[in-house]
Structure 1
Amino acid sequence: MLPSHSPKNNQSDFQWKLTCSPRAKSTFNPIRNFVQNMSVKPNPEKTPIRLSVGDPTEFGNLPIPQQAVQQLSENILSGKYNGYTLSFGSLEARKAIADYFSSSNYYPIQPQDVLLTCGTAGAIELVLSALGDEGKNVLVPKPGFPLFQTIANSLGMKTKAYHLKQEDNWQVDLADIVSQIDHQTVAIIVNNPSNPCGSVYTKEHLQDIVNLAEKCKIPIIADEVYANMCFDGVPFYSVASQSPHVPILSLGSISKLFAAPGWRLGWVIVHDRHDILRNAGIIQCLHQLTMRMLVPSSPIQSVIPILFSEQCRKEQLRIMEELQHNANTAYPLLESIPGLRCTKPQGAMYMFIHLDLNVLAFENDVEFTETLWKEESVFVIPGSCFGWNGAVRIVLNAPSCVLTEACSRLQSFCERHSRHG
């Protein structure tokens, strides 16, 4: 009850004393910030081509498997999927994911090893919340997907970047990882296939990473959102398939694999063959944390079994064929442009392009990106958003003819802005 009014106590004595939380202040996503706050306007005389955000639905040419869409419609109309599921997801959905990924591992996965999350972002927050605390740190690749740093900082944790070797197809610099590890390090994040680099690690390289983690006794968080999304016969090996001892927390989602980012369904697969995580109480903590986090919607969970069925996987292969065709189309076109240097993508849906600023008349990658949008209406993401200055990332999800047009505009743009005239 508010105190009664009196000459010495009236409404004017109360003041608003609101402050923003430190967690909110420390939350920053460089990609979202750049895309959503771009003040430069595109050239109105040219149709915009957005090769920026990794949304496979952007151009409408990579559809969600129609069997899953039809099943979702039927399930919603049935009225059977309007209630809650378990906080870590329905058994049927978790079993479908476990069965699918058991085929790409040497070790079987059980439904109890899978926890469903609200997209990959939910998976990242879940594992970092379970493993870390204020003052702890995780090792992240550079260049790398910045959401790990966004969420870690929001939780009061720190990220320490280890280098990927551009000259060696973006393989991990193992010596640099060792130099970054300290007594506060709780996990090493390994992204394969890579966003933004488009690289895919060999079995031998993954074994080297796992051996390092075992020697240092640090678990691995495997960002495998692009699992099995490889080009030209390059094989995908999960980190867990090469790890008989080191505990692995594998993250994934249907957002890229089935072109359904808006469905917001991701997962964590726990690989803990020697009960290291269980004995530390981490598996119990993961389950406890799901009780406060957002589980994916029940209707979306209900279609996971059909989405991972053989029939839908055939449709998913068509998505991969188009991405592969686009990679093979764009690479030679961009590689031939003076001032650009590319590494041919082996997987995922991106190409990371080095800018030679001795050739191109720009101070940095942000200026390059903004001027490209202003003059050519082609939107890309500067490499600095991924912790790597002097580069840009393009997405390979556009129809081939649109991607070819974007490459043509990039060529004209780079020739026009050459320091050598």
Structure 2
Amino acid sequence: MHRHALYNCRPNDWEADRDEIRRLKDDKTKLLIVTNPSNPCGSNFSRKHVEDIVRLAEELRLPLFSDEIYAGMVFKGKDPNATFTSVADFETTVPRVILGGTAKNLVVPGWRLGWLLYVDPHGNGPSFLEGLKRVGMLVCGPCTVVQAALGEALLNTPQEPLDQIVAKIEESAMYLYNHIGECVGLSPTMPRGAMYLMSKIDLEKYRDIKTDVEFFEKLLEEENVQVLPGTIFNSPGFTRLTTTRPVEVYREAVERIKAFCQRHAAV
């Protein structure tokens, strides 16, 4: 029976807990998986942290699978030089598989087209590559017309409209970050990429809400505002908000969330 072991990420920046990964690794561990930028966390790892992960994979002698589908969605914030760093940016003997796709990088989710890039210049993972080929033959069935259009789209899509979309998402993300913290019991983490924001829920601040799932259910029922409970991401005590709607929508949403949190606040 194959199983997966989940490691924690630090809530202050959502970077991976490398010491825990070391503790979890055993003789049955086959692969280290990372997601950057992250759904659900809305994080973007620093260059140093990405390199630390690559070196950890070297140390543990594990291939590295990196979900980088949000690579083109990085927030500048107060750092105009903020950028995305791929696991492919470092020289290493570790075989790497990198996930990408058109849905986020080209804003065409309806194409339903993604890809895996295999990076192994030292040829250390031939059996791993063979396994990927087998999986590809079993589960891949993309539209041939879309495949033919992909090269043209990657080479000739102007960057400016994509940057404008990311700037709008960042504007909404920062509005949420700056105002969700005004709600009783909520403490958001600074969003740095993708299209999400995670907030800690201090359940002790409420008189009649005991879990993040209950927070989600009551908020939806009472205020018609939908968030996702952290429990479904193995992060109980948190909630995830998406940041893709215009700021005008979030102004109304924040007011509803504020009213909800105040209504349920412990006396």
TM class by shorter chain equals over 0.9
Cα separation, 2, equivalents of 1:293 and 1:323 = 32
Secondary structure class of the residue paired with 1:164: coil
Deviation at 1:310, TM superposition (A): 4.2
Match of 2:201 in 1: 355
Secondary structure class of the residue paired with 1:398: coil
Cα separation, 2, equivalents of 1:259 and 1:225 = 11
Does the CA-based 8 Å contact 1:355-1:392 persist in structure 2? yes
Choose the corresponding residue for 2:170, options 318, 321, 324. 324
Cα separation, 1, equivalents of 2:225 and 2:265 = 18
Match of 1:79 in 2: none
Cα separation, 2, equivalents of 1:385 and 1:323 = 24
Deviation at 1:400, TM superposition (A): 1.6
Does the CA-based 8 Å contact 1:307-1:313 persist in structure 2? no
How far does the alpha carbon of each residue in 1:92-121 deviate from its partner, in whole angstroms, 9 at most, with x for none?
xxxxxxxxxxxxxxxxxxxxxxxxxxxxxx
Mapping for residues 252-331 of structure 1, pairs under 5 Å: 252-278=100-126, 281-331=127-177
Report whether the alignment pairs 1:415 with 2:232: no
Cα separation, 2, equivalents of 1:320 and 1:166 = 23
Report whether the alignment pairs 1:341 with 2:187: yes
How far does the alpha carbon of each residue in 1:317-363 deviate from its partner, in whole angstroms, 9 at most, with x for none?
12111111111211111122221001110001000011000102311
Choose the corresponding residue for 1:231, options 71, 75, 96. 75
Choose the corresponding residue for 2:216, options 347, 362, 369. 369
Choose the corresponding residue for 1:241, options 86, 89, 110. 89
Cα separation, 1, equivalents of 2:130 and 2:247 = 47
Does the CA-based 8 Å contact 2:220-2:226 persist in structure 1? yes
Cα separation, 1, equivalents of 2:91 and 2:264 = 48
Secondary structure class of the residue paired with 1:351: strand
How far does the alpha carbon of each residue in 1:207-255 deviate from its partner, in whole angstroms, 9 at most, with x for none?
1111111011001110111113101132100012124221110011111
Cα separation, 2, equivalents of 1:415 and 1:336 = 10
TM-score, normalised with respect to structure 2: 0.94
Output the aligned Cα RMSD.
1.4
How far does the alpha carbon of each residue in 1:272-322 deviate from its partner, in whole angstroms, 9 at most, with x for none?
0110112xx222332233222232101211221232234443221121111
Cα separation, 2, equivalents of 1:247 and 1:294 = 22
Deviation at 1:391, TM superposition (A): 1.0
Choose the corresponding residue for 1:198, options 42, 61, 83. 42
Match of 2:62 in 1: 218
**Counterpart residue identity of residue 408, structure 1:** E
Cα separation, 2, equivalents of 1:247 and 1:303 = 29
Cα separation, 2, equivalents of 1:298 and 1:197 = 34
Does the CA-based 8 Å contact 2:66-2:97 persist in structure 1? yes
Cα separation, 1, equivalents of 2:156 and 2:164 = 13
Residue range with higher mean Cα deviation, 284-293 or 391-400:
284-293
Cα separation, 1, equivalents of 2:128 and 2:17 = 29
How far does the alpha carbon of each residue in 1:162-186 deviate from its partner, in whole angstroms, 9 at most, with x for none?
111113x111111100000001101
Match of 1:162 in 2: 7
**Counterpart residue identity of residue 314, structure 1:** E
Secondary structure class of the residue paired with 1:352: strand
Q: Percent identity?
A: 34
Secondary structure class of the residue paired with 2:204: coil
In the alignment, structure 2 segments of 5+ residues that lack a partner are none
Moved over 6 A (4+): none
TM-score, normalised with respect to structure 1: 0.60
Match of 2:232 in 1: 385
Secondary structure class of the residue paired with 1:185: coil
Match of 1:180 in 2: 24
Does the CA-based 8 Å contact 2:44-2:74 persist in structure 1? yes
Bigger radius of gyration? 1
Does the CA-based 8 Å contact 1:253-1:266 persist in structure 2? yes
